[in-house]
Amino acid sequence: MRIAILAQDLIWQERLARSVEHAGAEPARSGTAPEFDRALVDAGFAIVDLTARAYDPLAAIERAVAAGAHVLAVGQHDDHELRKRALACGADRVLAYRKLFEEGPATIEAWVGRATGAAR
């Protein structure tokens, strides 16, 4: 299974990719909107970092959902408005950085399990 990752920050992108690998999936990394669109090909899942300036994260969520991907968004724990907007754009869940930093592989594995068990 392939998971497209959109994160501008290379360190955070690397952390997400390692968590995806440890969850048993193949990461497809990207840091820009065009790279993400290419990464979405054959990816049934996507993780989008909400705090970037190089791309519009909400538009990325919408494109991923339109492509048929389940989306997990990650961002600041205290940006409630952006988190709500990400859900309104189609993200399955929006998690704080800390959650994925501390429990990345288990969290990603549980999300994929829930998403594949639910009809879309």
What ranges do the domains of the chain cover?
Answer: 2-117
- pLDDT over 50 at 120, yes or no: no
The average pLDDT across 42-55 equals 95
Please give the CATH number for the structural domain made up of 2-117: 3.40.50.2300
pTM exceeding the 0.85 threshold for the entire prediction:
yes
19-37 pLDDT per residue, tens = 999 999 999 999 999 999 9
Summarised one tens digit per residue, pLDDT across range 53-95 is 999 999 999 999 999 999 999 999 899 999 999 999 999 999 9
H/E/C letters for each residue in 70-108?
Answer: EEEEEECCCCHHHHHHHHHCCCCEEEEHHHHHHHHHHHH
For residue 15, give both structure tokens: 């952390």
Q: Read out DSSP for 42-69? A: T-SEEEEES--SSS-HHHHHHHHHHTT-
